[in-house]
Structure 1
Amino acid sequence: MGGGRSRAALVAKARESIAEGSKSFTVASWLFDKSTRERAHLLYAWCRRCDDIADGQEYGFRDGARDLKLDQASAKDRVEAIRILTHRALDGQPTADLAFDALGLVAAECGITREMCDDVIDGFALDADGWRPRSEGDLMRYCYHVAGAVGVMMAKVMGVPSDATETLDRACDLGLAFQLNNIARDIWDDDAAGRCYIPEEWLVEMDIPPGQLMKPAYREQLVQLAGRLVSIAQVHDMRARVGAGRLKFRQRWAVLSAANIYGAIGKKVHARGEAAWDHRVRIGFLAKMGHIASALKETMRGSYPPQLEPKWTRGQLMAAARMAGPVAGVPNTPLRDEGVRRKED
């Protein structure tokens, strides 16, 4: 495993990848013990590389001279290349790409499966096919692919066994919360790239015509939609915090720190109101240190039980993903909307 490269070389390259690609996750990851931190970086390198290949970018940024609305056929070819390289790496074959070789290594060390990886890649396939969510359930299925499934893989990196279903479910919740906050923050960027992750049913409710989401006339409705995303994220975030209590001390501290930082993104979007997309929301270094300090207190004290349970569970989203398959063009599988339920004592 590792494509014949030394573990040290793969870890060093992965560390460079995360330093360039995600300042927030870099800060939180340094709270892990050395072994967990290295494995988290190896996994991140694969995630980052897949994202860059799928979108034709580097460390999350495109060349300004290039067309943001990439050719769909080319995008599908890139996703297929991601899948082939990933499967080669998992089979212990060299890929000539450090990030995929890194995945092969961390997968062998932590028990990350092909099914877990394919769940993530299927999210890239949805984007490559020009997919749009029609319902809230469709949105959550997408979030499962691109973030919830990654949360499960991160749990494996932290040593959570495959039969610890409850803990894996909570790891998925955290990934869902992260992605929903990111979608709320990146509505303008996504629109500029020809993408929209706001469910069509939500847009219809707000009387926003197709393609008009960012028009000034609809800014008030947009604020409400972003608030809806953030509210759903907060429910999943609360569930995830309880699951973090089952982790080792440093792992719990790192996870709660990341939850605080990404949660602050959603809160900041909500607080800015109609000005939320004038400038990209960022969390400064000092603010991150404050969130890490708060996470330390919560790590020692424990998290409060959530008062609400989310509509969408990992089991529901996995089932919908299996039924829909990896091809985004097939009809979406409707998910049963059970509503947000108040937790019973």
Structure 2
Amino acid sequence: MTKAERNRAALVIAAHDSIRKGSRSFAAASRLFDRTTRERVWLLYAWCRACDDIADDQDHGGASLGDHGRSLRPEARLATIRSLTDLAVAGENTGHAAFDALGQLMRETPISRAMVDDVLAGFALDAADWRPRTEADMLRYCFHVAGAVGVMMAAVMGVAADDDDTLDRACDLGLAFQLANIVRDVSEDDANGRCYLPMEWLAEADIPPGEVTKPHYRHALVPLVARACALAREYEISARFGTSRLMFRQRWAVLAAAGIYGGIAREVERLGAHAWDHRVSTSRWQKLRLIGTAFAEARRAPRAAGKPTPSRRELAAMAR
């Protein structure tokens, strides 16, 4: 084994540890990929997870990284993310396995600098304590923090940089995932002084800023969450159609992930005002059932589906 092969193997091991610790849902879906794609998915996850953790001063979404992390302002954390990413994109050793994983991916796949910059723009929004005013603003945020990651995931699976239709569908799945995160995490985000539901929606429902999860506003919140879930379904349906361009195992894995995350949004919607009594999640047995359902779906021709608006290119244009 050459030095380059040993270095890659070490990065894959570290990335696998990261996804196992950070996301049981993505870890379960990733097992369905062929080995090469699976390893690349782990490498991409590791970079995304490290950026999240630096931005939020956390370790895999959990405990704080320590006193040093808390001493840094959001702008300084963003600068750290950008500088390490710049080194990785340039092919330099960063001294950080998760960022070196990005550099490795860019040598192996058609991931472009523009794709990376679209993701970094999401961290810039959070560093600026940005809040969505309109539905389009909320979708723009979803694009940067998840839709753009879906585009990178498609590149990891070998989708060409000029295959705009497939990249659009991959972005749509990321948008659906992030909308599911938003509705699931309303209470948790509120506790951290954040809200990703549009301010216009809250005003229409007569919910004052900072009062989102107060008991007497919960019933007013339910229709807003249902509205976000309806958007998630539109983007998920579009993404499912897009999987027809992927190889079978890739299609199976993506459909499994769509089922698992789509199930979270559907459960939040079903629970109504009780959705935030505890954090909604998917059990091991539910994941296995959804993986089986995805296998059957992957063997069938998908139903044709139109593209929701705004699209990937419209959302990217908003940001620029």
> Which TM-score tier does this pair reach, normalised by the shorter chain?
over 0.9
Q: For the residues of structure 2 that align with 1:311 and 1:34, how far apart are their CA atoms?
A: 35
Q: For the residues of structure 2 that align with 1:314 and 1:63, how far apart are their CA atoms?
A: 33
1:133 touches 1:198 (CA, 8 Å); kept in 2? yes
Match of residue 202 from structure 2: 203
2:110 touches 2:158 (CA, 8 Å); kept in 1? no
Match of residue 340 from structure 1: none
Paired AA for residue 244 in structure 2: G
Q: For the residues of structure 2 that align with 1:309 and 1:226, how far apart are their CA atoms?
A: 22
1:3 touches 1:95 (CA, 8 Å); kept in 2? no
Match of residue 32 from structure 2: 31
Q: RMSD of the alignment, in Å?
A: 1.9
Match of residue 17 from structure 1: 18
What is the CA distance between 1:5 and its match in structure 2? 6.6
Match of residue 41 from structure 2: 40
Match of residue 166 from structure 1: 165
**After TM superposition, what 4+ stretches of structure 1 lie above 2 angstroms from structure 2?**
2-5, 62-66
TM-score normalized by structure 2? 0.95
Q: For the residues of structure 1 that align with 2:4 and 2:150, how far apart are their CA atoms?
A: 25
For each residue in 1:226-281, what CA deviation from the matched residue of structure 2 results, as whole angstroms up to 9, or x when unmatched? 11111100000000001001100000000000000000000010111111001000
For each residue in 1:72-102, what CA deviation from the matched residue of structure 2 results, as whole angstroms up to 9, or x when unmatched? x711111111011001011011111000001
Match of residue 279 from structure 1: 278
What is the CA distance between 1:302 and its match in structure 2? 2.3
What is the CA distance between 1:207 and its match in structure 2? 0.7
What is the CA distance between 1:303 and its match in structure 2? 1.9
What is the CA distance between 1:107 and its match in structure 2? 1.3
Paired AA for residue 9 in structure 1: A
Match of residue 320 from structure 1: 318
- Judged with a 3 Å threshold, the aligned counterparts in structure 2 of structure 1 residues 127 and 313 are, in CA distance, closer, same or farther, namely same
Q: For the residues of structure 1 that align with 2:307 and 2:112, how far apart are their CA atoms?
A: 28
For each residue in 1:196-221, what CA deviation from the matched residue of structure 2 results, as whole angstroms up to 9, or x when unmatched? 10101001110111111111111011
- Is 1:129 matched up with 2:122? no
2:44 touches 2:101 (CA, 8 Å); kept in 1? yes
Identical aligned pairs, as a percentage? 54
1:54 touches 1:75 (CA, 8 Å); kept in 2? yes
TM-score normalized by structure 1? 0.89
Gaps of 5+ in 2: none
Match of residue 118 from structure 2: 119
Give the match's secondary structure for 1:6: helix
What is the CA distance between 1:3 and its match in structure 2? 9.5
Q: Give the number of the structure whose residues are more often helix, by fraction.
A: 2
Q: For the residues of structure 2 that align with 1:62 and 1:5, how far apart are their CA atoms?
A: 31
- Is 1:293 matched up with 2:287? no
2:58 touches 2:65 (CA, 8 Å); kept in 1? no
- Judged with a 3 Å threshold, the aligned counterparts in structure 2 of structure 1 residues 65 and 221 are, in CA distance, closer, same or farther, namely farther
Match of residue 104 from structure 1: 103
- Is 1:241 matched up with 2:240? yes
Q: For the residues of structure 2 that align with 1:163 and 1:125, how far apart are their CA atoms?
A: 27
For each residue in 1:276-311, what CA deviation from the matched residue of structure 2 results, as whole angstroms up to 9, or x when unmatched? 0010001000000110111111101122223x6422
Give the match's secondary structure for 2:299: helix
What is the CA distance between 1:65 and its match in structure 2? 9.7
Paired AA for residue 130 in structure 2: W
Gaps of 5+ in 1: 323-345
Q: For the residues of structure 2 that align with 1:21 and 1:35, how far apart are their CA atoms?
A: 21
For each residue in 1:122-178, what CA deviation from the matched residue of structure 2 results, as whole angstroms up to 9, or x when unmatched? 101111111000000111110000000000000000000111110000000000000
For each residue in 1:286-343, what CA deviation from the matched residue of structure 2 results, as whole angstroms up to 9, or x when unmatched? 000110111111101122223x642210110010111xxxxxxxxxxxxxxxxxxxxx
1:3 touches 1:94 (CA, 8 Å); kept in 2? no
1:31 touches 1:250 (CA, 8 Å); kept in 2? yes
Q: For the residues of structure 1 that align with 2:271 and 2:241, how far apart are their CA atoms?
A: 29
The total of aligned residue pairs comes to 317
- Judged with a 3 Å threshold, the aligned counterparts in structure 2 of structure 1 residues 64 and 209 are, in CA distance, closer, same or farther, namely farther
Match of residue 223 from structure 1: 222
Q: For the residues of structure 1 that align with 2:106 and 2:157, how far apart are their CA atoms?
A: 12
Paired AA for residue 320 in structure 1: M
Match of residue 308 from structure 2: 310
Paired AA for residue 315 in structure 1: R
What is the CA distance between 1:103 and its match in structure 2? 0.6
